[in-house]
Amino acid sequence: MRVCRSIVSGLLVLLALALFAGARQVPITLLCTTDVHGHVLPYRDSVSGKDVGGMLRCASAIEEIRGKSPNTLYVDCGDLFQGTAESWLTRGRIMTRTLEWLRCDAWVLGNHDFDWGLEALADLHDQTSLAMLAANLVVLPDSTNRLSKVRPFVIKEIDGVRVAVVGLTTPGIPTWTRPEMLGNVGFKRSVDALAAVMPSVRAERPDVMVLLVHQGYQEQGDDNANEVNQIARSFPEFDVMLGGHLHRPVASARLNGVLYSQAGYYGNWLGCVEIVYDTVQKKVVGKKADAIPIEDRYEEHPALTELLRADLEKTKSYLGETLGFAGTGLVASVNAPGQSPVQQLICRAITKAAKAEIALHGILAEGQIGPGPITRADIWRIIPYENRVGVAELTLTDLRAILEENARRVGSSHFLGVYGLSYELHPNAPPGERVRNLRLADGSRPHARKRFRVAMNSYSLSSGGGRFPMLREIVERPESRLDLTDIDTRSAVVDYVRGHNPLRIEPGTGVTVIRGGSSGR
Protein backbone atom coordinates (compact mmCIF):
# COMPACT_ATOMS: atom_id res chain seq x y z
CA MET A 1 0.00 0.00 0.00
CA ARG A 2 2.80 2.36 0.95
CA VAL A 3 4.54 1.47 -2.32
CA CYS A 4 1.40 2.35 -4.30
CA ARG A 5 1.06 5.64 -2.42
CA SER A 6 4.71 6.39 -3.09
CA ILE A 7 4.30 5.63 -6.78
CA VAL A 8 1.17 7.81 -6.98
CA SER A 9 2.90 10.65 -5.16
CA GLY A 10 5.85 10.37 -7.48
CA LEU A 11 3.60 10.45 -10.53
CA LEU A 12 1.85 13.55 -9.21
CA VAL A 13 5.19 15.28 -8.68
CA LEU A 14 6.31 14.35 -12.19
CA LEU A 15 2.98 15.56 -13.61
CA ALA A 16 3.30 18.84 -11.76
CA LEU A 17 6.86 19.26 -13.01
CA ALA A 18 5.72 18.48 -16.55
CA LEU A 19 2.92 21.01 -16.34
CA PHE A 20 5.29 23.59 -14.90
CA ALA A 21 7.82 22.91 -17.63
CA GLY A 22 5.11 23.40 -20.28
CA ALA A 23 3.70 26.51 -18.65
CA ARG A 24 4.56 29.83 -20.20
CA GLN A 25 3.38 33.38 -20.43
CA VAL A 26 2.51 34.47 -23.95
CA PRO A 27 2.89 38.20 -24.74
CA ILE A 28 0.47 39.64 -27.31
CA THR A 29 0.62 43.15 -28.77
CA LEU A 30 -2.54 44.75 -30.09
CA LEU A 31 -2.11 47.79 -32.39
CA CYS A 32 -4.99 50.04 -33.40
CA THR A 33 -5.79 52.98 -35.66
CA THR A 34 -9.15 54.74 -35.81
CA ASP A 35 -10.87 57.62 -37.60
CA VAL A 36 -8.20 57.74 -40.28
CA HIS A 37 -10.65 59.47 -42.68
CA GLY A 38 -8.60 58.73 -45.78
CA HIS A 39 -5.35 60.23 -44.46
CA VAL A 40 -2.64 58.29 -46.23
CA LEU A 41 -0.28 61.27 -46.04
CA PRO A 42 0.76 63.28 -42.97
CA TYR A 43 -1.28 66.42 -42.31
CA ARG A 44 -0.44 69.78 -40.74
CA ASP A 45 -1.47 69.87 -37.07
CA SER A 46 -3.19 73.18 -36.32
CA VAL A 47 -1.78 73.37 -32.77
CA SER A 48 1.86 72.32 -33.19
CA GLY A 49 2.25 73.41 -36.82
CA LYS A 50 4.03 70.10 -37.52
CA ASP A 51 3.24 67.42 -40.07
CA VAL A 52 1.89 64.43 -38.14
CA GLY A 53 -0.06 61.23 -38.65
CA GLY A 54 -1.04 59.53 -41.88
CA MET A 55 -1.02 55.83 -42.71
CA LEU A 56 2.36 55.93 -44.46
CA ARG A 57 3.97 56.88 -41.16
CA CYS A 58 1.75 54.50 -39.18
CA ALA A 59 2.99 51.72 -41.45
CA SER A 60 6.58 52.38 -40.36
CA ALA A 61 5.56 52.35 -36.69
CA ILE A 62 3.60 49.10 -37.13
CA GLU A 63 6.54 47.44 -38.91
CA GLU A 64 8.95 48.55 -36.19
CA ILE A 65 6.75 47.14 -33.42
CA ARG A 66 6.18 43.87 -35.29
CA GLY A 67 9.94 43.47 -35.54
CA LYS A 68 10.18 43.54 -31.75
CA SER A 69 6.88 41.80 -30.94
CA PRO A 70 6.05 39.01 -33.41
CA ASN A 71 2.78 38.15 -31.58
CA THR A 72 1.04 41.24 -32.94
CA LEU A 73 -2.50 41.94 -34.10
CA TYR A 74 -3.39 45.13 -35.97
CA VAL A 75 -6.98 46.42 -36.11
CA ASP A 76 -8.87 49.56 -37.15
CA CYS A 77 -11.93 51.01 -35.37
CA GLY A 78 -13.68 52.66 -38.32
CA ASP A 79 -14.29 55.87 -40.28
CA LEU A 80 -11.58 54.63 -42.58
CA PHE A 81 -12.02 56.15 -46.02
CA GLN A 82 -14.18 59.29 -46.10
CA GLY A 83 -12.39 62.63 -45.79
CA THR A 84 -9.56 63.06 -48.33
CA ALA A 85 -9.31 63.50 -52.08
CA GLU A 86 -7.05 60.46 -52.56
CA SER A 87 -9.66 58.25 -50.95
CA TRP A 88 -12.59 59.88 -52.75
CA LEU A 89 -10.93 59.57 -56.16
CA THR A 90 -10.36 55.83 -55.60
CA ARG A 91 -13.80 55.34 -53.98
CA GLY A 92 -12.01 54.24 -50.80
CA ARG A 93 -9.90 51.56 -52.45
CA ILE A 94 -6.63 53.28 -51.53
CA MET A 95 -7.53 52.79 -47.88
CA THR A 96 -8.55 49.14 -48.09
CA ARG A 97 -5.38 48.44 -50.11
CA THR A 98 -3.40 50.10 -47.31
CA LEU A 99 -5.01 47.96 -44.61
CA GLU A 100 -4.59 44.83 -46.75
CA TRP A 101 -0.87 45.62 -47.18
CA LEU A 102 -0.59 46.11 -43.41
CA ARG A 103 -2.23 42.68 -42.86
CA CYS A 104 -5.01 44.25 -40.84
CA ASP A 105 -6.75 41.57 -38.75
CA ALA A 106 -10.12 43.35 -38.42
CA TRP A 107 -11.80 46.59 -39.49
CA VAL A 108 -14.92 47.83 -37.69
CA LEU A 109 -17.30 49.90 -39.81
CA GLY A 110 -17.75 53.52 -38.69
CA ASN A 111 -20.59 55.95 -39.35
CA HIS A 112 -18.69 57.84 -42.08
CA ASP A 113 -18.05 54.56 -43.88
CA PHE A 114 -21.73 54.80 -44.91
CA ASP A 115 -21.49 58.41 -46.17
CA TRP A 116 -21.26 57.45 -49.84
CA GLY A 117 -24.27 55.18 -49.53
CA LEU A 118 -24.81 51.48 -49.06
CA GLU A 119 -23.95 50.55 -52.65
CA ALA A 120 -20.58 52.32 -52.53
CA LEU A 121 -19.70 50.55 -49.27
CA ALA A 122 -20.93 47.27 -50.76
CA ASP A 123 -18.58 47.73 -53.73
CA LEU A 124 -15.63 48.12 -51.35
CA HIS A 125 -16.91 45.14 -49.36
CA ASP A 126 -16.88 43.03 -52.53
CA GLN A 127 -13.35 44.06 -53.51
CA THR A 128 -11.51 43.64 -50.21
CA SER A 129 -10.26 40.64 -48.27
CA LEU A 130 -10.37 42.55 -44.97
CA ALA A 131 -12.32 41.09 -42.06
CA MET A 132 -15.15 43.62 -41.62
CA LEU A 133 -16.91 43.65 -38.24
CA ALA A 134 -20.20 45.08 -36.95
CA ALA A 135 -22.14 42.82 -34.59
CA ASN A 136 -24.96 45.36 -34.32
CA LEU A 137 -25.54 45.75 -38.08
CA VAL A 138 -28.86 44.21 -39.14
CA VAL A 139 -30.43 43.72 -42.56
CA LEU A 140 -34.18 43.95 -43.09
CA PRO A 141 -35.83 40.54 -43.39
CA ASP A 142 -36.51 39.21 -46.87
CA SER A 143 -34.01 41.59 -48.47
CA THR A 144 -30.64 41.10 -50.14
CA ASN A 145 -27.67 41.44 -47.82
CA ARG A 146 -25.12 43.52 -49.76
CA LEU A 147 -22.71 43.33 -46.81
CA SER A 148 -22.76 39.57 -46.38
CA LYS A 149 -19.08 39.36 -45.39
CA VAL A 150 -19.55 41.67 -42.39
CA ARG A 151 -19.23 39.49 -39.29
CA PRO A 152 -19.87 40.00 -35.58
CA PHE A 153 -16.46 38.61 -34.57
CA VAL A 154 -13.34 36.76 -35.69
CA ILE A 155 -11.09 34.30 -33.85
CA LYS A 156 -7.33 34.79 -34.27
CA GLU A 157 -4.79 32.30 -32.95
CA ILE A 158 -1.55 33.87 -31.74
CA ASP A 159 1.20 31.51 -30.57
CA GLY A 160 -1.40 28.99 -29.43
CA VAL A 161 -3.61 31.57 -27.72
CA ARG A 162 -7.13 32.02 -29.10
CA VAL A 163 -8.13 35.69 -29.31
CA ALA A 164 -11.75 36.66 -29.96
CA VAL A 165 -12.09 40.05 -31.67
CA VAL A 166 -15.69 41.34 -31.54
CA GLY A 167 -16.77 44.52 -33.35
CA LEU A 168 -19.54 47.11 -32.88
CA THR A 169 -20.25 50.22 -34.89
CA THR A 170 -22.06 53.20 -33.38
CA PRO A 171 -25.83 52.82 -33.10
CA GLY A 172 -26.18 56.55 -33.79
CA ILE A 173 -25.64 56.20 -37.56
CA PRO A 174 -29.29 56.96 -38.50
CA THR A 175 -28.99 60.37 -36.83
CA TRP A 176 -26.22 61.37 -39.27
CA THR A 177 -27.09 59.45 -42.42
CA ARG A 178 -30.37 59.59 -44.36
CA PRO A 179 -32.41 56.39 -44.79
CA GLU A 180 -31.99 56.78 -48.55
CA MET A 181 -28.25 56.20 -48.05
CA LEU A 182 -28.60 53.25 -45.67
CA GLY A 183 -31.03 51.21 -47.75
CA ASN A 184 -32.07 48.01 -45.97
CA VAL A 185 -29.47 48.30 -43.19
CA GLY A 186 -30.19 49.14 -39.55
CA PHE A 187 -28.33 49.12 -36.23
CA LYS A 188 -29.07 47.61 -32.83
CA ARG A 189 -28.15 49.10 -29.47
CA SER A 190 -24.74 47.87 -28.30
CA VAL A 191 -25.73 45.81 -25.26
CA ASP A 192 -28.62 44.14 -27.10
CA ALA A 193 -26.32 43.18 -29.98
CA LEU A 194 -23.66 41.77 -27.64
CA ALA A 195 -26.24 39.82 -25.65
CA ALA A 196 -27.23 38.10 -28.90
CA VAL A 197 -23.71 37.33 -30.16
CA MET A 198 -21.74 36.53 -26.99
CA PRO A 199 -23.05 32.94 -26.65
CA SER A 200 -21.47 32.21 -30.04
CA VAL A 201 -18.24 33.93 -28.99
CA ARG A 202 -18.04 31.95 -25.74
CA ALA A 203 -18.71 28.73 -27.63
CA GLU A 204 -15.40 29.28 -29.44
CA ARG A 205 -13.65 29.05 -26.03
CA PRO A 206 -11.34 32.05 -26.56
CA ASP A 207 -8.47 32.69 -24.16
CA VAL A 208 -8.51 36.47 -24.68
CA MET A 209 -11.49 38.66 -25.57
CA VAL A 210 -11.10 42.03 -27.33
CA LEU A 211 -13.94 44.39 -28.26
CA LEU A 212 -13.52 46.99 -31.03
CA VAL A 213 -16.10 49.79 -31.06
CA HIS A 214 -16.61 52.77 -33.30
CA GLN A 215 -17.71 54.63 -30.21
CA GLY A 216 -15.87 56.80 -27.72
CA TYR A 217 -15.37 57.41 -24.01
CA GLN A 218 -16.75 60.62 -22.50
CA GLU A 219 -16.22 61.79 -18.92
CA GLN A 220 -19.83 62.97 -18.76
CA GLY A 221 -21.10 59.51 -19.61
CA ASP A 222 -22.71 57.69 -22.52
CA ASP A 223 -25.09 59.08 -25.12
CA ASN A 224 -27.08 57.80 -28.09
CA ALA A 225 -23.95 57.15 -30.16
CA ASN A 226 -21.36 56.21 -27.51
CA GLU A 227 -22.20 53.42 -25.06
CA VAL A 228 -18.80 52.25 -23.82
CA ASN A 229 -19.58 52.63 -20.11
CA GLN A 230 -22.76 50.61 -20.43
CA ILE A 231 -20.92 47.96 -22.44
CA ALA A 232 -18.20 47.62 -19.79
CA ARG A 233 -20.79 47.32 -17.01
CA SER A 234 -22.73 44.67 -18.92
CA PHE A 235 -19.77 42.66 -20.28
CA PRO A 236 -16.80 42.93 -17.89
CA GLU A 237 -15.47 39.66 -19.38
CA PHE A 238 -13.77 41.64 -22.16
CA ASP A 239 -10.08 41.99 -21.44
CA VAL A 240 -9.66 45.02 -23.70
CA MET A 241 -11.97 47.51 -25.43
CA LEU A 242 -10.62 49.75 -28.20
CA GLY A 243 -12.70 52.74 -29.33
CA GLY A 244 -12.68 55.86 -31.45
CA HIS A 245 -15.27 58.12 -33.12
CA LEU A 246 -14.68 61.16 -30.87
CA HIS A 247 -11.36 62.23 -32.48
CA ARG A 248 -9.31 62.40 -29.33
CA PRO A 249 -6.74 60.03 -27.86
CA VAL A 250 -7.34 58.18 -24.60
CA ALA A 251 -4.11 56.32 -23.90
CA SER A 252 -5.48 54.16 -21.09
CA ALA A 253 -8.57 53.99 -18.89
CA ARG A 254 -10.31 51.37 -16.75
CA LEU A 255 -14.03 50.93 -17.25
CA ASN A 256 -15.41 48.44 -14.72
CA GLY A 257 -12.17 46.49 -14.94
CA VAL A 258 -12.06 46.53 -18.75
CA LEU A 259 -8.89 48.13 -20.14
CA TYR A 260 -9.99 50.86 -22.57
CA SER A 261 -7.99 52.87 -25.12
CA GLN A 262 -8.74 55.04 -28.18
CA ALA A 263 -6.16 56.16 -30.70
CA GLY A 264 -7.03 59.70 -31.82
CA TYR A 265 -7.66 60.38 -35.50
CA TYR A 266 -6.02 60.77 -38.96
CA GLY A 267 -3.32 58.32 -37.88
CA ASN A 268 -1.84 60.86 -35.47
CA TRP A 269 -1.69 58.22 -32.73
CA LEU A 270 -1.21 54.45 -32.84
CA GLY A 271 -2.93 52.59 -30.04
CA CYS A 272 -0.71 49.93 -28.45
CA VAL A 273 -1.98 47.37 -25.91
CA GLU A 274 0.30 44.77 -24.38
CA ILE A 275 -1.37 41.62 -23.04
CA VAL A 276 0.23 38.69 -21.18
CA TYR A 277 -1.64 35.38 -21.16
CA ASP A 278 -0.64 32.59 -18.76
CA THR A 279 -1.17 29.12 -20.23
CA VAL A 280 -1.37 27.37 -16.81
CA GLN A 281 -3.65 29.84 -15.05
CA LYS A 282 -5.50 30.15 -18.36
CA LYS A 283 -6.11 33.84 -17.98
CA VAL A 284 -4.71 37.24 -18.78
CA VAL A 285 -2.20 38.07 -16.06
CA GLY A 286 -1.08 41.46 -17.35
CA LYS A 287 -2.33 44.21 -19.63
CA LYS A 288 -1.45 47.83 -20.26
CA ALA A 289 -2.28 50.40 -22.94
CA ASP A 290 -0.65 53.45 -24.47
CA ALA A 291 -1.06 55.74 -27.46
CA ILE A 292 2.07 56.30 -29.55
CA PRO A 293 2.31 59.74 -31.24
CA ILE A 294 3.02 59.38 -34.97
CA GLU A 295 5.40 62.25 -35.59
CA ASP A 296 8.48 62.82 -37.75
CA ARG A 297 10.53 60.10 -36.02
CA TYR A 298 8.54 57.76 -38.26
CA GLU A 299 9.27 58.18 -41.95
CA GLU A 300 6.72 57.43 -44.65
CA HIS A 301 7.08 53.73 -45.39
CA PRO A 302 8.87 53.43 -48.77
CA ALA A 303 7.25 50.16 -49.90
CA LEU A 304 3.71 51.32 -49.12
CA THR A 305 4.46 54.71 -50.68
CA GLU A 306 5.52 52.97 -53.89
CA LEU A 307 2.37 50.82 -53.89
CA LEU A 308 0.16 53.92 -53.68
CA ARG A 309 2.32 56.28 -55.76
CA ALA A 310 0.13 56.44 -58.86
CA ASP A 311 -2.99 57.29 -56.87
CA LEU A 312 -1.16 59.90 -54.80
CA GLU A 313 0.32 61.60 -57.89
CA LYS A 314 -3.10 61.69 -59.53
CA THR A 315 -4.53 63.27 -56.37
CA LYS A 316 -1.80 65.91 -56.25
CA SER A 317 -2.60 66.96 -59.80
CA TYR A 318 -6.33 67.00 -59.08
CA LEU A 319 -5.99 69.15 -55.94
CA GLY A 320 -3.68 71.62 -57.69
CA GLU A 321 -6.27 72.57 -60.32
CA THR A 322 -7.19 76.28 -60.16
CA LEU A 323 -10.95 76.83 -60.16
CA GLY A 324 -11.15 80.61 -59.87
CA PHE A 325 -9.93 83.66 -58.04
CA ALA A 326 -11.03 85.07 -54.68
CA GLY A 327 -11.25 88.84 -54.78
CA THR A 328 -11.44 88.94 -50.98
CA GLY A 329 -10.43 86.55 -48.24
CA LEU A 330 -13.09 83.99 -47.35
CA VAL A 331 -13.19 82.98 -43.69
CA ALA A 332 -15.13 80.19 -42.00
CA SER A 333 -15.71 81.25 -38.41
CA VAL A 334 -18.28 80.98 -35.63
CA ASN A 335 -17.59 84.61 -34.70
CA ALA A 336 -20.19 85.78 -37.24
CA PRO A 337 -22.96 83.31 -36.35
CA GLY A 338 -24.14 81.66 -39.52
CA GLN A 339 -22.94 84.49 -41.71
CA SER A 340 -19.20 84.05 -42.29
CA PRO A 341 -18.16 84.30 -45.97
CA VAL A 342 -17.44 80.55 -46.31
CA GLN A 343 -20.81 79.69 -44.79
CA GLN A 344 -22.52 82.11 -47.14
CA LEU A 345 -20.58 80.67 -50.09
CA ILE A 346 -21.89 77.20 -49.27
CA CYS A 347 -25.45 78.49 -48.80
CA ARG A 348 -25.43 80.37 -52.12
CA ALA A 349 -23.91 77.39 -53.94
CA ILE A 350 -26.47 74.83 -52.76
CA THR A 351 -29.33 77.27 -53.34
CA LYS A 352 -28.28 77.71 -56.95
CA ALA A 353 -27.49 74.03 -57.57
CA ALA A 354 -30.78 72.78 -56.12
CA LYS A 355 -32.90 75.63 -57.55
CA ALA A 356 -34.01 76.55 -54.03
CA GLU A 357 -35.11 79.88 -52.59
CA ILE A 358 -33.60 79.55 -49.11
CA ALA A 359 -30.63 77.65 -47.67
CA LEU A 360 -29.61 76.59 -44.17
CA HIS A 361 -26.06 75.32 -43.60
CA GLY A 362 -23.43 75.09 -40.86
CA ILE A 363 -19.64 75.35 -40.89
CA LEU A 364 -17.97 72.09 -41.89
CA ALA A 365 -14.42 73.16 -41.02
CA GLU A 366 -12.94 76.42 -39.77
CA GLY A 367 -10.32 78.02 -41.98
CA GLN A 368 -9.92 80.51 -44.78
CA ILE A 369 -9.38 80.85 -48.52
CA GLY A 370 -7.42 83.57 -50.33
CA PRO A 371 -7.52 86.23 -51.45
CA GLY A 372 -5.98 84.89 -54.63
CA PRO A 373 -6.30 81.72 -56.73
CA ILE A 374 -8.80 79.13 -55.49
CA THR A 375 -7.72 75.53 -56.00
CA ARG A 376 -9.54 72.28 -55.44
CA ALA A 377 -7.39 71.81 -52.34
CA ASP A 378 -8.94 74.98 -50.90
CA ILE A 379 -12.44 73.63 -51.43
CA TRP A 380 -11.53 70.29 -49.83
CA ARG A 381 -10.19 72.14 -46.81
CA ILE A 382 -13.53 73.83 -46.10
CA ILE A 383 -15.72 70.91 -47.26
CA PRO A 384 -14.16 67.62 -46.11
CA TYR A 385 -17.40 65.59 -46.34
CA GLU A 386 -19.56 64.54 -49.29
CA ASN A 387 -22.93 65.53 -47.86
CA ARG A 388 -25.77 65.45 -50.36
CA VAL A 389 -28.15 68.38 -50.83
CA GLY A 390 -31.81 67.91 -50.01
CA VAL A 391 -34.72 70.28 -50.67
CA ALA A 392 -37.87 70.48 -48.55
CA GLU A 393 -40.93 72.65 -49.14
CA LEU A 394 -41.49 74.52 -45.87
CA THR A 395 -43.90 77.12 -44.53
CA LEU A 396 -43.15 80.16 -42.40
CA THR A 397 -44.26 78.19 -39.33
CA ASP A 398 -41.88 75.36 -40.24
CA LEU A 399 -38.98 77.76 -40.73
CA ARG A 400 -39.61 79.52 -37.46
CA ALA A 401 -39.67 76.19 -35.57
CA ILE A 402 -36.39 75.09 -37.20
CA LEU A 403 -34.69 78.40 -36.46
CA GLU A 404 -35.89 78.26 -32.84
CA GLU A 405 -34.27 74.84 -32.49
CA ASN A 406 -31.16 76.17 -34.23
CA ALA A 407 -30.90 79.03 -31.70
CA ARG A 408 -29.51 76.62 -29.11
CA ARG A 409 -26.42 76.16 -31.31
CA VAL A 410 -25.46 79.81 -31.66
CA GLY A 411 -21.71 80.27 -31.23
CA SER A 412 -20.89 76.73 -32.42
CA SER A 413 -19.93 75.30 -35.80
CA HIS A 414 -23.28 73.49 -35.87
CA PHE A 415 -25.28 76.73 -35.98
CA LEU A 416 -27.07 76.88 -39.32
CA GLY A 417 -26.56 80.06 -41.27
CA VAL A 418 -29.30 81.32 -43.59
CA TYR A 419 -29.44 82.60 -47.14
CA GLY A 420 -32.59 84.06 -48.65
CA LEU A 421 -33.91 85.02 -45.22
CA SER A 422 -33.14 87.48 -42.47
CA TYR A 423 -34.26 87.51 -38.85
CA GLU A 424 -33.41 88.73 -35.38
CA LEU A 425 -32.09 86.11 -32.97
CA HIS A 426 -32.66 86.77 -29.26
CA PRO A 427 -30.74 83.86 -27.68
CA ASN A 428 -31.62 84.89 -24.10
CA ALA A 429 -35.36 85.00 -24.75
CA PRO A 430 -37.67 82.16 -23.70
CA PRO A 431 -38.14 79.28 -26.18
CA GLY A 432 -40.61 80.25 -28.86
CA GLU A 433 -39.63 83.92 -28.65
CA ARG A 434 -36.04 83.81 -29.85
CA VAL A 435 -36.70 84.21 -33.60
CA ARG A 436 -38.28 87.55 -34.52
CA ASN A 437 -38.86 89.86 -37.45
CA LEU A 438 -38.42 87.16 -40.09
CA ARG A 439 -38.10 88.56 -43.63
CA LEU A 440 -37.34 87.32 -47.13
CA ALA A 441 -34.28 88.53 -49.02
CA ASP A 442 -36.24 91.43 -50.54
CA GLY A 443 -37.36 92.59 -47.10
CA SER A 444 -40.95 91.37 -47.42
CA ARG A 445 -42.71 89.19 -44.86
CA PRO A 446 -43.10 85.53 -45.89
CA HIS A 447 -46.70 84.59 -46.64
CA ALA A 448 -47.93 82.29 -43.87
CA ARG A 449 -49.36 79.67 -46.25
CA LYS A 450 -46.71 79.74 -48.96
CA ARG A 451 -44.22 76.87 -49.13
CA PHE A 452 -40.59 77.77 -49.87
CA ARG A 453 -37.97 75.48 -51.37
CA VAL A 454 -35.33 75.21 -48.65
CA ALA A 455 -31.94 73.54 -49.30
CA MET A 456 -29.99 71.76 -46.54
CA ASN A 457 -27.39 69.02 -46.45
CA SER A 458 -28.08 65.36 -45.68
CA TYR A 459 -26.33 65.59 -42.31
CA SER A 460 -28.71 68.28 -41.04
CA LEU A 461 -31.68 66.52 -42.62
CA SER A 462 -30.79 63.42 -40.59
CA SER A 463 -30.91 65.57 -37.41
CA GLY A 464 -27.19 66.44 -37.30
CA GLY A 465 -26.35 63.71 -34.83
CA GLY A 466 -29.51 64.34 -32.80
CA ARG A 467 -28.99 68.11 -32.56
CA PHE A 468 -31.97 68.92 -34.77
CA PRO A 469 -34.77 66.41 -34.11
CA MET A 470 -37.46 69.01 -34.85
CA LEU A 471 -35.87 69.81 -38.21
CA ARG A 472 -35.90 66.13 -39.15
CA GLU A 473 -39.49 65.66 -38.01
CA ILE A 474 -40.64 68.65 -40.07
CA VAL A 475 -38.85 67.74 -43.31
CA GLU A 476 -40.11 64.15 -43.14
CA ARG A 477 -43.77 65.19 -43.09
CA PRO A 478 -45.43 64.21 -46.39
CA GLU A 479 -46.39 67.80 -47.13
CA SER A 480 -42.71 68.88 -46.97
CA ARG A 481 -41.97 66.79 -50.10
CA LEU A 482 -38.34 66.20 -49.13
CA ASP A 483 -36.15 65.45 -52.16
CA LEU A 484 -32.63 64.17 -51.44
CA THR A 485 -30.86 65.10 -54.65
CA ASP A 486 -27.72 63.58 -56.14
CA ILE A 487 -25.93 66.94 -55.74
CA ASP A 488 -23.09 66.89 -53.22
CA THR A 489 -22.13 70.06 -51.37
CA ARG A 490 -18.55 70.21 -52.62
CA SER A 491 -19.50 69.87 -56.28
CA ALA A 492 -22.08 72.63 -55.85
CA VAL A 493 -19.42 74.95 -54.40
CA VAL A 494 -16.94 74.09 -57.19
CA ASP A 495 -19.55 74.96 -59.82
CA TYR A 496 -20.40 78.21 -58.03
CA VAL A 497 -16.73 79.27 -57.81
CA ARG A 498 -16.22 78.58 -61.50
CA GLY A 499 -19.30 80.64 -62.35
CA HIS A 500 -18.32 83.65 -60.19
CA ASN A 501 -14.84 84.79 -61.12
CA PRO A 502 -13.53 86.77 -59.34
CA LEU A 503 -15.43 85.50 -56.32
CA ARG A 504 -16.53 88.05 -53.74
CA ILE A 505 -18.57 86.90 -50.75
CA GLU A 506 -19.13 89.45 -48.03
CA PRO A 507 -20.35 88.40 -44.57
CA GLY A 508 -24.10 87.89 -44.68
CA THR A 509 -26.69 89.91 -42.80
CA GLY A 510 -29.30 87.17 -42.47
CA VAL A 511 -28.97 86.71 -38.71
CA THR A 512 -28.81 89.66 -36.33
CA VAL A 513 -27.98 88.43 -32.83
CA ILE A 514 -29.47 90.62 -30.12
CA ARG A 515 -28.39 89.79 -26.60
CA GLY A 516 -29.83 91.25 -23.45
CA GLY A 517 -33.54 91.63 -22.75
CA SER A 518 -35.76 88.61 -23.28
CA SER A 519 -39.26 90.02 -23.47
CA GLY A 520 -41.35 91.12 -26.42
CA ARG A 521 -41.47 90.05 -30.05
CATH 3.10.129.10 fits 322-513, yes or no: no
Rounded-to-integer distance, Cα 359 and Cα 396, Å = 14
Q: Is the pLDDT of residue 20 over 60?
A: no
The per-residue pLDDT for 175 is 96
Q: What is the pTM (predicted TM-score) of this model?
A: 0.92
Rounded to a whole number, what is the distance in angstroms from the first to the last CA of the chain?
104
Task: Supply the pLDDT for residue 459.
Answer: 96
For 427-456, what is each residue's pLDDT tens digit? 999 999 999 999 998 899 999 999 999 999
Q: Which DSSP category does 446 fall into?
A: P
Crossing angle of helices 302-319 and 93-101, rounded to 10°: 170
Instruction: Cite the beta strand spans of 77-184 per DSSP E.
Output: 106-108, 132-133, 137-139, 153-158, 161-168
The stretch 240-246 carries a mean pLDDT of: 98
What is the pLDDT at residue 517? Answer: 53
Bigger pLDDT: 159 vs 510: 159
Check pLDDT > 70 for residue 23.
Answer: no
Listed by start position, the domains of the chain span: 24-314, 322-513
pLDDT on residue 14: 35
Helix, strand, coil tally for the chain in percent (to 5): 30, 30, 40
AA letter at 309: R
DSSP string, 381-411: HH--S-PEEEEEEE-HHHHHHHHHHHGGGTT
Q: Looking at residue 518, what is its pLDDT?
A: 46
Residue 45, Cβ neighbours under 10 Å: how many? 14
What are the pLDDT digits (tens) for 315-341? 999 999 999 999 988 988 888 788 889
Per-residue model confidence (pLDDT) at position 2: 43
Q: With a cut of 90, say whether residue 270 has pLDDT above it.
A: yes
pLDDT band for position 419 (50/70/90)? very high
Contact status, residue 74 vs residue 103, Cβ threshold 8 Å: yes
Give the pLDDT mean for 65-72. Answer: 96
Does the pLDDT value for residue 12 go beyond 60?
A: no
CA distance 497 to 135: 44
> What pLDDT, on the 0 to 100 scale, is given for residue 15?
36
263 pLDDT exceeds 80? Answer: yes
- The pLDDT assigned to 196 comes to 98
Identify whether 293 is preceded by a cis peptide bond (ω within 30 of 0).
no
In which order are the strands placed within the sheet that holds 161-168? 153-158, 161-168, 208-213, 240-243, 258-263, 249-255
> What is residue 22's predicted lDDT score, i.e. its pLDDT?
55
Cis peptide before 431 (omega within 30 of 0): no
Superfamily of domain 24-314: Metallo-dependent phosphatases (3.60.21.10)
Q: Cα–Cα distances in Å, from 514 out to 80, 138, 410, 418, 439?
A: 42, 47, 12, 16, 16
